[in-house]
Amino acid sequence: MSSMDKITRYLFSSSQYSVTNKRVKYNAFKPPRKYPDEVSVYDVSNLSDESIWQMGIEGVESVRSDNKKIKARGDISVEEINKIANEGEPPVLKVEPDPEPHPNHMNITGFTSLHEGQVNIIAKKVADLAKLEIRK
C-alpha cells in the first residue's frame, strides 16, 4: 500500500463524530476492548464516494451481527497515519491488510504497546486529520 493511499473508518455511532463541529471524534480511532490492538479501516484508494458507501453497506453493514447502520465515515491518508506513527521511536502504528470480512479491509495496529493516555493522544491526532463524511 502506498503512503498516498486513502483509508476510511466507517462510523456506526453518533458518539464517534460531531455534525455541528464537522469532525471525527477521537474515540472513533481508539481500538475496541474486544480487539485492543487494532482499529478496523478500509482501503478506499481510487474509489468514488458512491463506491465507498456501497462497499460499507455491502461489505460491512451486511455482516454485522448487531444490525447497526453506517452513519458516517472518517477518511484519512496512509501518509498521515505514517507521520503520526513515526513521531515515536520505534514507529508505533502500522496499517496492515486483513482481507476479512472484505478484500479492502485493513487494520491500524500497534496500540497494545502503549498505555491508555498515549492511545488517546494518538487517536486524537488521527481523528483531527480525518475528514468527516456524513451518510445521506
Mind listing the pLDDT tens digit of every residue in the chain (136 residues)?
Answer: 555 699 999 999 999 999 999 999 999 999 999 999 999 999 999 999 999 999 999 999 999 999 999 999 999 999 999 888 777 656 688 999 999 889 999 999 999 988 899 999 999 999 999 999 999 9
Q: Model pTM? A: 0.92
- The distance of Cα 15 from the centroid of its chain, to the nearest Å, equals 15
CB contact set of 57 (below 8 Å; sequence gap of 6+): 70
